[in-house]
Amino acid sequence: VQLQASGGGLVQAGESLRLSCAASGFSSDYYAIGWFRQAPGEEREAVSCISNRDISTSYADSVKGRFTIFRDNAKNTAYLQMNNLKPEDAAVYYCAAEWRGSNYGCSMIGAQYDYWGQGTQVTVSS
């Protein structure tokens, strides 16, 4: 199982970015995908997740209404569309995969995730 996150960059407040998480070695039928972020000196926090089979999604309160998680299963890639970015969104963003088997859902707890990609830096200037 491999995850490759990309799409980070430097934007101004109010602008948008789309992060990608290219996955290989597993099926979206059995794995949920989560996005997490960590700012310097802070704890890692969950941003969003999408269940196996794309049945459900979850968002942190801080990003609801601004971020959207979705998957293109034909490309085995998950995305995090981030709109109206704020300086407080600046962090290294990580995608991760959680084995769910036949249990639909996704966790907003990092310790539940089995595989992690490398991070992609998001910087938001005010």
Task: Check residue 1 and give its pLDDT.
Answer: 85
Inter-CA distances, 89 with 33, 47, 126, Å? 19, 10, 11
Which amino acid appears at position 46 of this protein? A
Mean pLDDT per 10-residue section of the chain, whose length is 126 residues: 96 98 90 97 97 95 98 94 98 97 95 96 97
Find out whether 43 and 31 touch, Cβ atoms under 8 Å.
Answer: no
Q: How many CA atoms, within 13 angstroms, populate the side-chain half-sphere of residue 7?
A: 20
Task: Check residue 28 and give its pLDDT.
Answer: 84
First to last CA, the chain: 37
Task: Check residue 48 and give its pLDDT.
Answer: 98
Residue 51 CA to residue 18 CA, distance in Å, equals 19
Task: Check residue 57 and give its pLDDT.
Answer: 98
Tokens in use for 116? 């992690």
Task: Check residue 27 and give its pLDDT.
Answer: 85
Task: Check residue 106 and give its pLDDT.
Answer: 97
Find out whether 87 and 126 touch, Cβ atoms under 8 Å.
Answer: yes
Task: Check residue 82 and give its pLDDT.
Answer: 98
Helix (H/G/I), strand (E/B), else coil: 101: coil
